[in-house]
Amino acid sequence: MKDKKRFTSVAAAGITFQAGSTAVDSATIMSALVFQLTGSSIWVGAVTAILRFGWLFPQLFVGFLAQRSGSSMGYYAIGAFGRAICMLLLAVVLFVGADWSRLTLAVLVMALWTAYAFISGIVAVPYNDIVARAVPSNLRSRLMAIRFFGGGVLALGVVAIADRFVGNMTFPLSYAAIFAMAAVLMLLSSTVFSAMGEPEQTSRKSRDGFFQYLRNGIGVFKTDRLFALFTYAQWCGGAVLMAMPFYVVQASKLGFSLENIALLLAAQTIGALASNPLWGWWGDGLGKVSLLRAIALGRVIPPLIMLVLGYSGAVQGMPLLFIFTMLFFVSGALANGLTIAVIGFLMEISPNDQRPAYSGYFNAITAPAFLLPLLAGVMATYIGLQVVFAVSMLAAGAQFILLTRIKT
């Protein structure tokens, strides 16, 4: 009964967070906000780079602290409630500063976004550790699928409300309202998960100092072939994601109105929602590695489509709304499957008594790859968006090849 209650608590917390994070999606809502404030591809690239790097880099230190203390829930609470507060502050800044210069607003928005990203990064290690102890391995893909399915259903309501905000309120008050809604959902998620309590501890306390912890991580990378190959594949995954914030920029350049940004977010959410049963069955039934390979191969498609659309002759007479809606539908499905597969596979290859440390090692080592959207912003400004999408497509192919070498 206790296990069932924990499963329900984890799922409920995940559902509400999923809906809240949808409202501040970096590839749609945040990219559109920053693009309207600055008109700069470099700033837009920084949105995703900051989020990804901020999410991953702190995990090196949190992994050490959680492994050393033998407890994870306290670190989860700091990160989870902290990021909700950052969202609330973002809403306040956009509301109070509606008449400020766009440059001032952009600087404040990016500063708070950076704080949100790095504070969010505190959550990942304790979350993975607690979930791995609360939910058996054969139910984890199902749990992720339920989380994303329920979160997707709730997110559709969030998208509908966001669309009303954007359509009926002036800029940037519409975005202030969206962030306030996200903050409420994140606070609810944090409360539900924290109230569950921490399951019985299986990881041992470590007495190693921080530098010994780092040396242990280097040792794991050198001796654990599965871990190393998975890390290389994730580096390629970071290169695939470098193009994500620029789908909105390219859409705008091709004539798609950013007033319809909520429609793209809706398509992305529906794609994630519709694909959940498939990814849950695939991950638990056919294995996480098989799912990782399928997703990597599928991620070749979106940048390939953008390359085709980039030629003006291919755009004339085409229904852009339909094309981009379908593109974001596919992207949402692939992103959802990737999350389920990566989290599930990392849990599987991490020893039970070293899970916080392994999460810290993996995410810290792969963190620099997720700064690539910033490089992509420079490339888009000085070379062109087509190069960004070409690199993304090639990286997806390289990731697939690396994943074929993983044997479990």
Q: Is residue 89 part of a domain?
A: yes
pLDDT surpassing 60 at residue 206 = no
Distance CA 248, CA 264 (A): 9
HSE-CB at 348 with a 13 A cutoff on CA atoms is 19
Q: Which of 400, 254, 393, 251 is nearest to 328 (CA)?
A: 251
pLDDT surpassing 60 at residue 328 = yes
Distance CA 300, CA 237 (A): 11
Specify the CATH number for the domain of residue 162.
1.20.1250.20
Q: Which domain holds residue 44?
A: 2-193+210-403
Q: Is residue 199 part of a domain?
A: no
Q: Is residue 204 part of a domain?
A: no
Q: Give the pLDDT confidence of 101-157 residue by residue, as tens digits.
A: 889 999 999 999 999 999 988 887 788 777 777 776 666 667 777 777 788 788 888
Percent of the residues in the chain that have a pLDDT greater than 70, as a whole number: 90
Q: Is residue 350 part of a domain?
A: yes
Domain count, the chain: 1
Percent of the residues in the chain that have a pLDDT greater than 90, as a whole number: 19
Token readout for 288 is 């996480």
Q: Give the pLDDT confidence of 70-96 residue by residue, as tens digits.
A: 667 888 888 899 999 999 999 999 999
Q: Is residue 245 part of a domain?
A: yes
Buried b (16+ CB within 10 A) or exposed e, 275-284: bbeebbebbb
Buried b (16+ CB within 10 A) or exposed e, 85-96: ebbbbbbebbee
Q: Is residue 329 part of a domain?
A: yes
Residue 174 phi, psi (nearest 5): -60, -40
Q: Is residue 203 part of a domain?
A: no
Query: Which stretches of 169-299 are DSSP H helices?
Result: 173-195, 210-223, 225-241, 246-253, 261-285, 288-298
Token readout for 123 is 């959550």
Q: Give the pLDDT confidence of 336-379 residue by residue, as tens digits.
A: 888 888 877 877 777 766 766 777 777 777 777 777 877 888 88
Give the pTM.
0.71
Comparing 199 with 226, which gets the higher pLDDT?
226
Q: Is residue 198 part of a domain?
A: no
